[in-house]
Structure 1
Amino acid sequence: MNNYLKISLGAAVLFLSSCESLNTGGFTLPPQGTGTTSTGSTTTNAGTTGGITQSEANLGVKQALSNGLNESIRVLSLKDGFLGDAAVKILMPEEARKVESALRAVGMGNLCDQFITSMNRAAETAVKEASSVFVGSLSRMTVNDAFNILLSGQQDAATQFFKRSTTAELTTRFSPIIQSAMGKNNVSTYWNQLTSAYNKLPLGNKIETDLTAYVTQRAISGLFVKVADQELKIRQNLGGSRNSSILNKVFGWADQQK
């Protein structure tokens, strides 16, 4: 099955099969079979304009998230998904910037470019692994989580939810893939050439960096940058991003609460 469809299918199955847990969260959740108006009162008709049910809120948030995640993973896993986007491009490790400056100054800029390209290629390979991790995170989302995401003043509330619930697992999943991809893309070879050349220059201390950990962390950070972009589009209804009746209803209701 196409990896990019797993999130949508997984979210739908989990939504239909799971029993959502509830707790208090600073607002009153509408009952399962009723809607709630923008003033907080309930209606007996779940389809009433301006009202949503718990089930609708949960389904709408999960659909929005799965749409955004699918698109983020799709874009980043393409060739130049990281390398060609300044917002997520993986640059030299901070502590190695002086290596880059020194080597470019002595005519070794091409080697620096090859190293940077190889790190980004490794990230583009690894990001595909995120789909199954996010499906698991969606399965743990409660109705209360969904309403917090809808009504939060933060435009990246859903992204922050995923950061909290997936970063540790993503790091575990990404690390071996990054390490393997770095081997295929000659990252270590370029890095050894860079550091060897730099260490021959009379510029001070040697540079030591855990490249696997660095590229893994930057790949995950880049993924969340894109997820936040997609979330903002849905919240602001940019480019027809609310492309279903449930998204229009749920996020339209959230707009009324502002």
Structure 2
Amino acid sequence: MKKICLSLLLAALLGLAGTAAAQTIRIPKIGGLQLPQPRTSTTKAGSTGSLSQDEAARGLKEALTQGISKGADQASQTDGFYLNRLIRIPFPPDAQRVATTLRSIGLGREVDKFELTLNRGAEDAAKSAKPIFLAAIKSLTFKDVWGILTGEKDAATNYLKRTTTEQLTTAFKPIIQQSLDKVGATRYYAALTTRYNQIPLVRPVQTDLNQYATDKAIDGLFTLIAQEEANIRENPVARTTELLRRVFGRKSS
């Protein structure tokens, strides 16, 4: 096979190689994935041997939309956080001594009730995450698409972390606070820490419950999205459309 110079390959990927429009460029297999081949103007639209840049972008966006929808829907269900060991939100670590002490004096049920409501707050807030993720997907450039397709199995998740974490945090904080108030987590936590702080000689606890719950809820969502991304990349059954099968189905031998 003739070697194609790097500059020509990059130009072709970016749609700038007008003089090479009539050539078929073969893209290597990277990381177990046969990458989509940008289709030239002379390649038939129905060809199964290549993908256009537009098809590659649409396929990735479709995969991300599918993974995000599943992840957000799973997280927002009752017990979506609470019964999932990967993302369950525990008693705040810097206030763990509160839980330990209160359990030792017979208040274990109150501690458990708080942890349940804390996770219920995250489940309630997760419903608002999907629109933010979908907006980030719409703004993907082909450079972003190519970087994700040639990246690690969590490249898409990492892209979303970079582009949405700040926005998610801003959007989630008031929602989390509302959710924690609605399910009683704020009240339970205030009662628990007040009791603890009244114990002689203990060091008072002042945890920012809202910030803690916000950070853990966002981390949990990204954990679920990473699972879905890996599933689509590695599991043929997870590719539910022809476009997904074309983009992600070209495994190396």
Q: TM-score range by the shorter chain?
A: 0.7 to 0.9
Distance 2:54 2:246 in 1: 12
1:218 Cα offset (Å): 0.6
SS state at 2:170 partner: helix
Aligned to 1:204: 202
1:37 Cα offset (Å): 3.2
Q: Do the aligned partners of residues 207 and 80 (structure 1) sit closer, same or farther apart at CA in structure 2, a change above 3 Å counting?
A: same
1:189 Cα offset (Å): 1.4
Aligned to 2:105: 106
Distance 1:136 1:125 in 2: 20
Aligned to 2:185: 187
Q: Does 1:236 align with 2:220?
A: no
Aligned to 2:68: 69
**TM-score normalised by the chain length of structure 2:** 0.83
CA contact (8 A) 2:38 2:52 kept: no
Distance 1:203 1:25 in 2: 69
Q: Do the aligned partners of residues 117 and 46 (structure 1) sit closer, same or farther apart at CA in structure 2, a change above 3 Å counting?
A: same
SS state at 1:86 partner: coil
SS state at 1:183 partner: helix
Aligned to 1:246: 243
Distance 2:181 2:104 in 1: 27
CA contact (8 A) 1:30 1:42 kept: no
Distance 2:25 2:224 in 1: 32
CA contact (8 A) 2:38 2:51 kept: no
Q: Does 1:53 align with 2:42?
A: no
Identity over aligned pairs, percent: 37
Q: Does 1:174 align with 2:163?
A: no
1:147 Cα offset (Å): 1.1
1:92 Cα offset (Å): 0.9
Pick from 5, 26, 31: which aligns with 1:37?
26
- Count of residues paired in the alignment: 231
1:196 Cα offset (Å): 1.7
Runs of at least 4 residues of structure 1 off by over 3 A? 24-28, 30-43, 45-50
Distance 1:247 1:70 in 2: 16
**TM-score normalised by the chain length of structure 1:** 0.82
1:154-188 CA distance string (max 9 Å, x none): 11100001111111111111111111111111112
Distance 1:25 1:120 in 2: 49
- Aligned residue identity for 1:148: G
1:27 Cα offset (Å): 8.5
Q: Do the aligned partners of residues 222 and 25 (structure 1) sit closer, same or farther apart at CA in structure 2, a change above 3 Å counting?
A: farther
CA contact (8 A) 1:235 1:251 kept: yes
| Alignment of structure 1 residues 125-204 onto 2, 5 Å | 125-152=124-151, 154-202=152-200, 204=202
Which stretch of structure 1 is more off in the superposition, 31-40 or 55-64? 31-40
1:25 Cα offset (Å): 10
CA contact (8 A) 1:60 1:247 kept: yes
Q: Do the aligned partners of residues 236 and 127 (structure 1) sit closer, same or farther apart at CA in structure 2, a change above 3 Å counting?
A: same
Aligned CA RMSD, in angstroms, stands at: 2.5
Distance 2:96 2:49 in 1: 53
Q: Do the aligned partners of residues 162 and 25 (structure 1) sit closer, same or farther apart at CA in structure 2, a change above 3 Å counting?
A: farther
CA contact (8 A) 1:75 1:81 kept: yes
Flag the structure with larger Rg.
Answer: 2
- Structure 2: stretches of 5+ with no match in the other structure: 1-7, 29-36
CA contact (8 A) 2:81 2:123 kept: yes
Aligned to 1:92: 91
1:189-229 CA distance string (max 9 Å, x none): 11122112212334531000111111111110000000000
Aligned to 1:21: none
Q: Do the aligned partners of residues 85 and 41 (structure 1) sit closer, same or farther apart at CA in structure 2, a change above 3 Å counting?
A: closer
Q: Do the aligned partners of residues 66 and 25 (structure 1) sit closer, same or farther apart at CA in structure 2, a change above 3 Å counting?
A: farther
